[in-house]
Amino acid sequence: MPAVVLTLADDISTDVIYPGRYMATVLPSETPQWAFADMTEFNAALRSRLIPPGSIIAAGNNFGCGSSREQAVSTLKGHELTIIAWSFARIFMQNAINLGLRLATAPGFTAAVGDEIRMTERAVVNATAGSSFEIVRLPAARQAIIDAGGLIAYTRNRLARPAGTGQ
Amino acid sequence: MGMTVVEKILARASGRTVARAGEVLEPHVDLAMSHENAALVVNQFLEIFQGTGREARIWDPSKVAIIFDHRVPAESAKTAGNQKKVRAFVAQHAIRKFHDIRGDVGGICHQILPESGYVRPGAVVVGTDSHTTSHGALGAFAFGIGATEMASVWALGVAVNVEVPGTIRVDVSGAFPRMVGPKDLILHLIGTIGAQGANYKVIEFHGDTIRGMSTSGRLVLCNMAVEAGATSGIVPADEETIRYLREEAVVRDAVVPVAPDPDAVYERSIAIDVSSLEPQVACPHTVDNVHPVGAVAGTEIQQVVIGSCTNGRLDDLEVAAGIVRGRTVALATRMLVFPASGKIYRQALEKGLIADFMAAGAVVMNPGCGPCLGVHEGALGDGETALATTNRNFKGRMGNPNARVFLCSPAVAAASALAGAIADPRKGGH
């Protein structure tokens, strides 16, 4: 079962997730090295692959606020992290859907580092603490992008469709 | 049931007569802006077409704008390489709204778009920059998107999956006291509703104070709407918008303002009287940590930054120059000035403002984002404190997680530069 590897407060900005000084690095293949670069211990753990894929970051409200930089999503996706937050900032959430970063909006979710987490379609279950939190479901149109495998694949499918054949 | 401005804009752009908050639409895009992160957009755009046998073609190159501003001139070989790659793409795809690193047509994207007449009332504007909200100042619906989403816009000409945002109406009345202005108003609003107070909403600005405000001031309000989490800010276009487009952006063709219906439905209404508003300061490390200047006066500062897409316009520079003219910046404080565009820089030169700044001890830099996002020029040392007219003070923002950034108006910044500490511009005989 995946475990929580980091707990964060409200309003974690993209400057914390991916500091602006690394923005010249743009390719998803290169951005993972700078994830939480200013949190040096956690960054070092990620770089040395001590954090297993599928591990969970638990955050409060408004995760990913601030800039539109997509590196903040690709850097987390590169480490195959899952983000569970009480709420997400708009652009971050859209970028996450577009790139296929795993996330869940679960208001009230509480966990400590090391807690084991099970996720169902509707709920986040903290198996260690014995608590469960409902997941806010995504609007159908957003789910369609996830189901297509991200926005690149979704757009590719759309281009292949003759013009005017529905939305 | 009437519509808000944004509902009207999205209905028109989606080929419908009505749009309501909560609906998901695919509006046609009128302007698609990127800066240096066009390098990533190009990468994602080419990936969309990879293996499809189709030629990678932009739906309408005349609606794409690319402005280099985040790292100008390039601070590293890597950035120079990204810029070179984008230039080649721009040439290959005949993108004409391209603003390279130049003193004539260059500058910060959120100043270049309005001053070049690219933004019109009623337009749908998307940009790979969160402060794209700025362009709501001209009555457009303008919002930030990610690079992959921009690649999709380049391919399809529509923004897929746009949820019509609910609208918060803000009515502003009263005359600003001396040394108080739009920056103090928006900081006060963000402090009041919080960093998440307008999440996924649009802030629509109304009232006598807004009607009497220049487009430059309106750009400040809409620029920082995103710091309350807003999808965008918007000022319904009026005579001032038309004046700005005709006189300052030299737009000749028809301009059609879009107004909200009198019975439009708002999620929330907020009234603000600015007649007793004090200069405001946002304290580290969140933009909603706002206090009147008196609460933090005396805090020593090692760097003052005046400029950015928020407050680097001619009226901002005039206020700041008026305060430092004939005086001297404190010896323990560095004052950096970044005009928002080459055009503004040249206007400031003609008015003697650049000479005023330099004679006072300030360093005037080339237009661009400069130290605001901490990638080059003006990084802070450990334990240092900066006071800036920029829009964000998140930890690490000015290049150093062990430094502090306070945000304020040009008047507070200039008065504080002289004092070497946060100071109230209403005092000291400015």
What is d(CA A24, CA B40) in angstroms, rounded to the nearest whole number?
Answer: 10
Q: Class of B281-419 per CATH? A: alpha beta
A124 and A78 together in one domain = yes
User: Could you give the residue ranges of the DSSP H alpha helices within B276-379?
Assistant: 308-311, 314-324, 342-350, 353-360
**Average pLDDT for residues B10-32, to the nearest whole number?**
97
State the Cα–Cα distance between residues B289 and B153, nearest whole angstrom. Answer: 36
pLDDT at position A163 is 56
Look up the pTM and report it: 0.96
Q: Name the strands in the sheet holding A102-105, side by side, starting at the edge strand that comes first in the sequence.
A: A4-7, A56-59, A82-85, A102-105
Q: Are residues A86 and A155 in the same domain?
A: no
| Higher per-residue confidence, A20 vs B164 | B164
Measured in degrees and rounded to the nearest 5, phi and psi for residue B220 equal -65, -45
Angle, helices B314-324/B215-225, rounded to nearest 10 degrees: 100
- CB burial of residue B201 (10 Å; 0-12, 13-18, 19+): buried
Of A62, A66, A94, the CB nearest to B149: A94
Q: What is the average pLDDT across B269-274?
A: 98
Residue B421 near residue B298, CB atoms below 8 Å? yes
Side-chain-side CA neighbours of A13 within 13 Å: the count stands at: 25
- Interface contact B394-A15, CB threshold 8 A: yes
- Higher-pLDDT residue of B197, B1: B197
Specify the DSSP element, H or E, that contains B388. strand B385-388
Q: Is a pLDDT exceeding 50 seen at residue A167? A: no
User: What residues form DSSP beta bridges with A3?
Assistant: A116
Q: Are residues A17 and A55 in the same domain?
A: yes
Instruction: State what percent of residues in chain B have pLDDT above 90.
Output: 97
Beta bridge partners of B185: none
Contact across the interface for A156 and B52, Cβ inside 8 Å = yes
pLDDT at B161: 86
Q: Looking at the structure, tell me whether residues A130 and A157 fall in a common domain.
A: no
* Chain A residue nearest residue B286, CA to CA: A11
Indicate if A131 and A78 belong to the same structural domain. Answer: yes
- A97 and A165 co-located in one domain: no
What is the spatial distance between Cα B357 and Cα A123, in angstroms, rounded to a whole number? Answer: 58
pLDDT 10s digits, B95-138? 999 999 999 999 999 999 999 999 999 999 999 999 999 999 99
Whether residue A155 and residue B48 make contact (CB cut-off 8 A), yes or no, is yes
Contact B128, B105 (CB under 8 A): no
Detail the DSSP E strand segments found in B249-308: 268-273, 280-282, 290-292, 303-307
The reply to whether A98 and A40 lie within a common domain is: yes
A51: domain range?
4-136
Q: Give yes or no: residues A143 and A131 share one domain.
A: no
pLDDT the model gives residue A162: 60
CA of A125, closest CA in chain B: separation in Å?
26
Same domain as A153, residue A78: no
Cβ–Cβ below 8 Å for B151 and A155: yes
Here the tokens at position B39 are 């390098």
Q: CATH 3.30.499.10 residue ranges in chain B?
A: 5-272, 281-419
Backbone angles phi, psi at B255, to 5 degrees: -120, 125
In angstroms, the CA A29 to CA B114 distance is 35
The CATH number of the domain where A106 resides is what? Answer: 3.20.19.10
Q: What is B5-272's CATH number?
A: 3.30.499.10
One domain, residues A79 and A112: yes
pLDDT digits (tens, 9 = 90+) for B365-407: 999 998 998 887 899 999 999 999 999 999 989 999 999 999 9
Number of domains composing chain A: 2
Beta-ladder partners of B360 = none
Q: Which two tokens stand for residue B386?
A: 């900066």
A129 pLDDT above the threshold of 90 = yes
List the single residue in A26, A66, A152 with the smallest CB-CB distance to B394.
A66
Local confidence band at B297 (pLDDT 50, 70, 90 cut-offs): very high
Q: Which residues pair with A13 in a beta bridge?
A: A65
ipTM, two decimals: 0.92
Overall size of chain A counted in residues: 167
The answer to whether the Cβ–Cβ distance between B49 and A156 falls below 8 Å is yes
Q: Residues 6 or more apart from B271 whose CB is under 8 A from it?
A: B170, B171, B172, B173
Q: Which residue of A has its CA nearest to B76?
A: A24
Residues A33, A105 within the same domain = yes
Express each pLDDT in B342-359 by its tens digit: 999 999 999 999 999 999
Question: Which chain B residue's Cα is nearest to A64?
Answer: B229
Segment A49-53 mean pLDDT: 95
Out of B26, B146, B395, the one facing A94 most closely (by C-beta) is B146
Residue B217 identity (one-letter amino acid): G
Question: Coil, helix or strand for B91?
Answer: helix
Does residue B315 sit in helix, strand or coil?
Answer: helix
Q: Are residues A157 and A114 in the same domain?
A: no
Task: Using the predicted structure, report yes or no on whether residue B428 has a pLDDT greater than 80.
Answer: no
Q: State the pLDDT confidence band at B189, using cuts at 50, 70 and 90.
A: very high
